[in-house]
Homo-oligomer: A and B are copies of this chain.
Amino acid sequence: MSDLLERLRGRGWRLTAQRRVVAEVLDGDHVHYTADEVHAKAAELLPEISRATVYNTLGELVSLGEVMEVSTDGRAKRYDPNAHHAHQHLVCSQCGTIRDVHPTGDLMAVLPAEERFGFQVAAVEVTYRGVCPNCSTS
Protein backbone atom coordinates (compact mmCIF):
# COMPACT_ATOMS: atom_id res chain seq x y z
CA MET A 1 0.00 0.00 0.00
CA SER A 2 2.98 2.33 0.55
CA ASP A 3 3.41 2.92 -3.16
CA LEU A 4 -0.28 3.49 -3.66
CA LEU A 5 0.10 7.23 -3.23
CA GLU A 6 2.97 7.35 -5.73
CA ARG A 7 1.00 5.30 -8.17
CA LEU A 8 -1.96 7.62 -7.90
CA ARG A 9 0.14 10.73 -8.21
CA GLY A 10 1.42 9.31 -11.47
CA ARG A 11 -2.16 9.26 -12.61
CA GLY A 12 -2.62 12.94 -11.90
CA TRP A 13 -4.01 12.64 -8.39
CA ARG A 14 -3.36 15.74 -6.32
CA LEU A 15 -1.76 14.64 -3.09
CA THR A 16 -3.47 16.14 -0.07
CA ALA A 17 -3.22 15.47 3.64
CA GLN A 18 -6.79 14.13 3.61
CA ARG A 19 -6.12 11.60 0.90
CA ARG A 20 -2.91 10.52 2.55
CA VAL A 21 -4.77 9.84 5.77
CA VAL A 22 -7.53 7.85 4.08
CA ALA A 23 -4.93 5.73 2.30
CA GLU A 24 -3.13 5.18 5.59
CA VAL A 25 -6.32 4.01 7.30
CA LEU A 26 -6.93 1.51 4.51
CA ASP A 27 -3.39 0.17 4.68
CA GLY A 28 -3.17 -3.46 5.69
CA ASP A 29 -4.63 -6.86 4.97
CA HIS A 30 -8.08 -8.05 5.99
CA VAL A 31 -9.38 -4.50 6.28
CA HIS A 32 -13.10 -4.12 5.63
CA TYR A 33 -14.17 -0.80 7.08
CA THR A 34 -17.37 1.09 6.42
CA ALA A 35 -17.13 4.68 5.19
CA ASP A 36 -17.98 5.93 8.67
CA GLU A 37 -15.32 3.74 10.25
CA VAL A 38 -12.78 5.09 7.79
CA HIS A 39 -13.92 8.58 8.68
CA ALA A 40 -13.60 7.95 12.40
CA LYS A 41 -10.11 6.50 12.09
CA ALA A 42 -9.02 9.22 9.69
CA ALA A 43 -10.30 11.87 12.08
CA GLU A 44 -7.99 10.51 14.78
CA LEU A 45 -5.09 11.43 12.54
CA LEU A 46 -6.55 14.57 10.99
CA PRO A 47 -9.40 15.85 13.15
CA GLU A 48 -10.86 18.35 10.70
CA ILE A 49 -11.37 15.89 7.85
CA SER A 50 -14.97 15.92 6.64
CA ARG A 51 -17.33 13.09 5.85
CA ALA A 52 -17.75 14.32 2.29
CA THR A 53 -14.04 14.06 1.61
CA VAL A 54 -13.89 10.54 2.93
CA TYR A 55 -16.82 9.52 0.73
CA ASN A 56 -15.25 11.28 -2.26
CA THR A 57 -11.87 9.70 -1.72
CA LEU A 58 -13.27 6.21 -1.26
CA GLY A 59 -15.31 6.63 -4.42
CA GLU A 60 -12.21 7.68 -6.34
CA LEU A 61 -10.15 4.79 -5.03
CA VAL A 62 -12.90 2.43 -6.18
CA SER A 63 -13.05 4.02 -9.63
CA LEU A 64 -9.30 3.75 -9.93
CA GLY A 65 -9.49 0.06 -9.06
CA GLU A 66 -7.34 0.41 -5.95
CA VAL A 67 -10.06 -0.53 -3.49
CA MET A 68 -12.99 -2.95 -3.73
CA GLU A 69 -16.46 -2.08 -2.60
CA VAL A 70 -18.16 -4.88 -0.71
CA SER A 71 -21.77 -4.96 0.44
CA THR A 72 -22.32 -8.10 2.43
CA ASP A 73 -25.33 -7.07 4.46
CA GLY A 74 -27.37 -4.49 2.61
CA ARG A 75 -26.35 -1.92 5.19
CA ALA A 76 -23.24 0.20 4.83
CA LYS A 77 -20.80 -0.64 2.07
CA ARG A 78 -17.36 -1.77 3.14
CA TYR A 79 -14.05 -0.93 1.53
CA ASP A 80 -11.45 -3.61 0.90
CA PRO A 81 -7.96 -2.43 -0.05
CA ASN A 82 -6.96 -5.90 -1.16
CA ALA A 83 -8.24 -5.21 -4.69
CA HIS A 84 -5.14 -6.48 -6.51
CA HIS A 85 -5.54 -10.05 -5.27
CA ALA A 86 -8.71 -11.76 -6.46
CA HIS A 87 -10.61 -13.12 -3.50
CA GLN A 88 -14.08 -13.68 -2.15
CA HIS A 89 -15.65 -13.20 1.28
CA LEU A 90 -16.80 -15.35 4.17
CA VAL A 91 -19.16 -13.55 6.53
CA CYS A 92 -20.34 -14.50 10.01
CA SER A 93 -24.14 -14.36 10.09
CA GLN A 94 -24.07 -13.37 13.73
CA CYS A 95 -21.26 -10.91 14.36
CA GLY A 96 -20.61 -9.78 10.80
CA THR A 97 -16.90 -10.62 10.81
CA ILE A 98 -15.49 -10.83 7.30
CA ARG A 99 -12.63 -13.06 6.14
CA ASP A 100 -11.02 -13.04 2.73
CA VAL A 101 -11.19 -16.50 1.13
CA HIS A 102 -9.98 -18.11 -2.08
CA PRO A 103 -12.29 -20.69 -3.65
CA THR A 104 -10.65 -23.11 -6.05
CA GLY A 105 -11.50 -23.41 -9.71
CA ASP A 106 -12.95 -20.95 -12.16
CA LEU A 107 -16.13 -19.42 -10.83
CA MET A 108 -16.87 -17.78 -14.17
CA ALA A 109 -16.68 -21.07 -16.03
CA VAL A 110 -19.46 -22.65 -13.98
CA LEU A 111 -22.01 -20.32 -15.55
CA PRO A 112 -23.06 -22.05 -18.78
CA ALA A 113 -23.39 -20.02 -21.97
CA GLU A 114 -27.13 -20.66 -22.15
CA GLU A 115 -27.45 -19.12 -18.69
CA ARG A 116 -25.79 -15.87 -19.74
CA PHE A 117 -28.74 -14.45 -21.69
CA GLY A 118 -26.46 -12.52 -24.03
CA PHE A 119 -24.70 -10.69 -21.21
CA GLN A 120 -20.99 -10.00 -21.51
CA VAL A 121 -20.13 -11.34 -18.07
CA ALA A 122 -17.17 -9.50 -16.59
CA ALA A 123 -16.95 -10.38 -12.92
CA VAL A 124 -18.21 -12.68 -10.21
CA GLU A 125 -18.64 -11.99 -6.53
CA VAL A 126 -19.15 -14.75 -4.01
CA THR A 127 -20.25 -14.42 -0.42
CA TYR A 128 -20.13 -17.44 1.85
CA ARG A 129 -22.23 -17.18 4.99
CA GLY A 130 -21.86 -19.13 8.17
CA VAL A 131 -21.14 -18.90 11.87
CA CYS A 132 -17.61 -18.09 13.00
CA PRO A 133 -15.85 -20.14 15.70
CA ASN A 134 -16.19 -17.32 18.17
CA CYS A 135 -19.96 -17.08 17.77
CA SER A 136 -20.63 -20.83 17.63
CA THR A 137 -19.07 -21.52 21.04
CA SER A 138 -20.82 -18.74 22.94
Contact = CB atoms under 8 A, between A and B. Distances in A.
Interface of A: 69, 71, 73-74, 77, 90, 92-93, 99, 101-105, 107-108, 110-112, 115-133, 136
A77 B71 CA distance: 11
Contacts of A74: 69, 71, 74, 77
Contacts of A121: 90, 128-130
- Rank and list the top 6 A-B pairs by shortest CB-CB distance, nearest first: A118-B133, A71-B74, A121-B130, A119-B130, A103-B110, A123-B129
A110 to B, nearest CB: 4
Contacts of A103: 107, 110-112, 115
Question: How many copies of this chain are found per oligomer?
Answer: 2
Contact of A119 (B69, B104, B131): B131
B115 A102 contact: yes
Contacts of A133: 117-119
A121 B91 CA distance: 9
A39 to B, nearest CB: 17
Contacts of A128: 108, 111, 119, 121, 123-124
Contacts of A73: 71
